[in-house]
Structure 1
Amino acid sequence: MTTMTQRTEAPPCEPLLSDRIAGSLLGAAVGDALGGPVEGYAPEQITERHGGRVRGIVGPWNGDHWRTARPLAPFHKGDGHVTDDTLMTHALIRVYTAVRDHLDAYDVAGHLVPDLMTTPRWIPELEADALPLHRIFLAEKWLVARLHYGHVDPREAGTGNIVNCGAAMYMAPVGLVNAADPRGAYAEALDIAGAHQSSYGREAAGVFAAAVAAACAPGATAGSVIEACLDLAKDGTRAAIEAVAEVAAGHRDFETALAPLRAAVAPFDTVGPDYRAPSLGARRPSRLHAIEELPIALGMLLVGEADYRRTVLGSVNYGRDCDSIATMSGALVGALRGEAAVPAEWVKQVADASRLDLHAPATALTEVAEEVFAEDMRRHHARTSAFAALTAAR
């Protein structure tokens, strides 16, 4: 991985934690909004529909017929509206603000599930106040079915769900709370995601959180983020990241990288070539496979050399589940380079169109991250003192 590390240099001025958290969450939300209206389509279809590559915020795929056009009705995807990726990310931040410590699967059952099913919130794609439960898809509704109605052990509730990126897409806050500690972020995200996913879907959640934590380290680069992922990732997830990263290292323009990156991840992707007609083996547990979204997001981070526009627009124009890919790659660029990396005009457009305060979650999570670190230090000092007493010469 030496070549990748050399290609991407650290920014000249290191962002502080608060700046990295704001950059990551804003970068994720903007990426989500950019990718939403072209989600599920191939690069060729996107080019035909928009007369070229998507270069900014665009309207719904079916124009004014978005309310009834299948397969996306009744969601208004486009015009700067964030999707469930951002809604779930903000919901997880609310769990952190309630618990104010590291989270586990029981916090998902005790806080996230009630948040989804009891508190109406503004849902941009529905253009209405509604329960978040009414917006999320079946893979996320699984949380409510298993934990609230099924009373399943939270640590095992993800077993049986389809294996997809549902848990990974909202794990950036875990990486931010564990900033500069990829191993800690990986472990915490695996615990949280056990309530939602199993197999390589759960693994992707852990690795994505680790990637965000690694991106927060002083001096981090796109290459060092990939190396942190490869240090922790297991089975097909590790193999997919390695395969995509090797191909991405040979490209600096997403135009030339789109087809090669898809070819690199295809052997590990269970969905198959037609995103809207998954194969019979799609989304089933396996040690040989990986979700597509995370390796491609990491690949685009390398191709775009951690530049926000190049990285995220590459993710958007890749198509398929591109809102989640752009959410992940946008979160990583923001964590590496801070809020200034995310185009301010896009942030304003998305915040205004979605009618959401995109900065407030970042402020809240920064406070929690600082509190959690202080508590971690207290716990560390207590154990250090205890261990010293246990090993003192007699």
Structure 2
Amino acid sequence: MASIACIPSVPSPGNATGLRERARGALLGLAVGDALGAPAENLKPSEIRARWGRITGYVSQNPAGTDDTEYAIFSGLLLARHGSALTPSHVEAAWHEWIADRDEGPFRGAGFSERGTLENLRRGLAAPISAQHRHAWSDGLAMRAAPFGVFAAGRPAEAARLAAVDGSVSHDGEGIYGGQAVAAGVAAAMAGAPTVAVVASALAVVPDDSWTARSLRRAVAVAHRGERAVRSAVVIGGYPWTDLAPEAVALAFGAYAAADGDFRDAVLTAVNMGRDADTTAAVAGALAGATQGISAIPAEWGSAIGPARGSCLPAMAGHHVLDVADLLVPGGGMAAPELAPNMLVREDSPLPDPTAFTLSTNDEPEPSR
């Protein structure tokens, strides 16, 4: 990875064809990472090695995306419907329309933050009160934030703003920051920014003294030493759950930085670190896929990803991440009939200046929580 002492600016997005290839790379990369990481979720590296050695490809018979992919599709379709005019009311209405008000039995395969959000929505609570539950700091927003970076290519601040609007229904505090970091990083990568500028763009949109920023800085500072160092720098030892947004987002960016944006290396690094491996690999895959484009995704990995099965969100069944990617870029494809016209209304907003700060490497380790 390049030196982090001097952060280059985020370039302007390329032409429509280039954006489409990066958009497809970002969302297919997310789904591939999700499917690769799902079997390793909640495992330690030692447990992964005992079962499979080092994971170098799919280890399940029928690889598929989990709730991470289906929620990214959910947010992508919502964004395609409303564009930059997205409001918390739009997001809340979509949660009711596509999830909460459906008679579909148990809410399968979702994390604690999604379950808590649904309980609150079904009790009649509205955003931001609907996000007041015990897991508002989870990585549930981070896992679905990549579409905002795809839509706001080259505009990390706008991507972060939209991610926060989406997250207002389900997350708060560090949970919002994690989603904003992912969205901004993908937005920078969509414009062809180098790895160091992608990381800088993520840090530029979250509070400097937040747990998310501190963890992300630590992960990137040791990324050159490999996955064990990244994991040791940010994992909260002894905590029983693996969905902490500051931890998961830092692991994903650490994997991406360790690989210097290379898709295969970034995703496999995230997978083999364990913890919330489907989410960390999905985020690393989105970042690297946006950086390198869809051609960087191994064909045998990409071809295994079909339309969403609806295993978590039945309303998302049949939607493919590539179709969603096409909806989010100019000239990428036609809107689905059920989506509103004029959905891709863009607003100009200034890019954050990544040269205005440096990535500190002097943070003390976060105490175990």
- Shift of residue 331, structure 1, vs aligned partner: 0.3
- Quick one: higher RCO (CA 8 Å, sep 6+), 1 or 2? 2
Q: Is the 8 A contact 1:92 1:112 kept in 2?
A: no
The question of 1:57 aligning with 2:40 is answered no
Q: Is the 8 A contact 2:20 2:326 kept in 1?
A: yes
Output one character per residue of 1:265-313: Cα deviation in whole Å (capped at 9) or x when no partner. 13xx4xx346xx349xx96xxxxxx621111111111111211111100
The question of 1:347 aligning with 2:347 is answered no
Residues 6 and 338 from structure 1, CA distance in 2 versus in 1: closer, same or farther, beyond 3 angstroms? farther
Q: Is the 8 A contact 2:100 2:121 kept in 1?
A: no
The question of 1:376 aligning with 2:331 is answered no
Query: Residue 110 of structure 1: which of 93, 96, 120 is its match?
Result: 93
Report sequence identity in percent: 28
In structure 2, C-alpha distance between the alignment counterparts of 1:132 and 1:115, rounded to whole Å? 14
Query: Residue 176 of structure 1: which of 150, 165, 169 is its match?
Result: 150
Letter in 2 for 1:261: V
Residues 373 and 87 from structure 1, CA distance in 2 versus in 1: closer, same or farther, beyond 3 angstroms? closer
Task: Give me the TM-score of the superposition, normalised by structure 2.
Answer: 0.79
Counterpart for residue 159 of structure 1: 132
The question of 1:262 aligning with 2:235 is answered no
Counterpart for residue 168 of structure 2: 194
- Shift of residue 185, structure 1, vs aligned partner: 1.2
For 1:296-311, list aligned pairs within 5 A: 296-311=251-266
Unaligned runs of 5+ in 2: 310-317, 334-341, 351-369
Q: Is the 8 A contact 1:155 1:194 kept in 2?
A: yes
Q: Is the 8 A contact 2:266 2:285 kept in 1?
A: yes
Output one character per residue of 1:23-57: Cα deviation in whole Å (capped at 9) or x when no partner. 1000000000000011110111101111x101101
- Shift of residue 189, structure 1, vs aligned partner: 1.1
In structure 1, C-alpha distance between the alignment counterparts of 2:234 and 2:152, rounded to whole Å? 28
Letter in 2 for 1:335: A
SS in 2 for 1:166: coil
Query: Residue 228 of structure 1: which of 201, 209, 224 is its match?
Result: 201
Question: Comparing 310-319 with 107-116, which one deviates more in the overlay?
Answer: 107-116
Residues 296 and 90 from structure 1, CA distance in 2 versus in 1: closer, same or farther, beyond 3 angstroms? same
Counterpart for residue 292 of structure 1: 247
In structure 2, C-alpha distance between the alignment counterparts of 1:132 and 1:195, rounded to whole Å? 20
Counterpart for residue 75 of structure 1: none
Residues 85 and 209 from structure 1, CA distance in 2 versus in 1: closer, same or farther, beyond 3 angstroms? same
- Shift of residue 353, structure 1, vs aligned partner: 9.6
- Shift of residue 375, structure 1, vs aligned partner: 4.3
Counterpart for residue 388 of structure 1: none
Counterpart for residue 77 of structure 2: 94
Residues 119 and 246 from structure 1, CA distance in 2 versus in 1: closer, same or farther, beyond 3 angstroms? same
In structure 1, C-alpha distance between the alignment counterparts of 2:147 and 2:93, rounded to whole Å? 18
In structure 1, C-alpha distance between the alignment counterparts of 2:116 and 2:6, rounded to whole Å? 43
Residues 338 and 369 from structure 1, CA distance in 2 versus in 1: closer, same or farther, beyond 3 angstroms? same
SS in 2 for 1:157: helix
SS in 2 for 1:134: coil
In structure 2, C-alpha distance between the alignment counterparts of 1:118 and 1:104, rounded to whole Å? 20
Question: Comparing 336-345 with 360-369, which one deviates more in the overlay?
Answer: 360-369
The question of 1:360 aligning with 2:323 is answered yes
SS in 2 for 1:108: helix
Residues 301 and 187 from structure 1, CA distance in 2 versus in 1: closer, same or farther, beyond 3 angstroms? same
- Shift of residue 103, structure 1, vs aligned partner: 2.0
For 1:307-322, list aligned pairs within 5 A: 307-322=262-277
Greater Cα radius of gyration, structure 1 or 2:
1
Unaligned runs of 5+ in 1: 60-77, 121-129, 252-256, 284-289, 381-394
- Shift of residue 119, structure 1, vs aligned partner: 6.1
The structure whose residues are more often helix, as a share, is 1
In structure 2, C-alpha distance between the alignment counterparts of 1:95 and 1:143, rounded to whole Å? 17
Q: Is the 8 A contact 2:91 2:166 kept in 1?
A: yes
Residues 33 and 131 from structure 1, CA distance in 2 versus in 1: closer, same or farther, beyond 3 angstroms? farther
- Shift of residue 6, structure 1, vs aligned partner: 8.9
Residues 34 and 375 from structure 1, CA distance in 2 versus in 1: closer, same or farther, beyond 3 angstroms? closer
Query: Residue 24 of structure 2: which of 1, 14, 22 is its match?
Result: 22
Residues 369 and 346 from structure 1, CA distance in 2 versus in 1: closer, same or farther, beyond 3 angstroms? closer
Output one character per residue of 1:320-375: Cα deviation in whole Å (capped at 9) or x when no partner. 10100000000001111111111121111132896763422222223599966654
Residues 215 and 39 from structure 1, CA distance in 2 versus in 1: closer, same or farther, beyond 3 angstroms? same
In structure 1, C-alpha distance between the alignment counterparts of 2:256 and 2:150, rounded to whole Å? 18
Counterpart for residue 334 of structure 1: 289
State the superposition RMSD in angstroms.
3.1
- Shift of residue 194, structure 1, vs aligned partner: 1.6
SS in 2 for 1:81: coil
In structure 2, C-alpha distance between the alignment counterparts of 1:199 and 1:211, rounded to whole Å? 18
The number of residues matched between the two structures is: 326
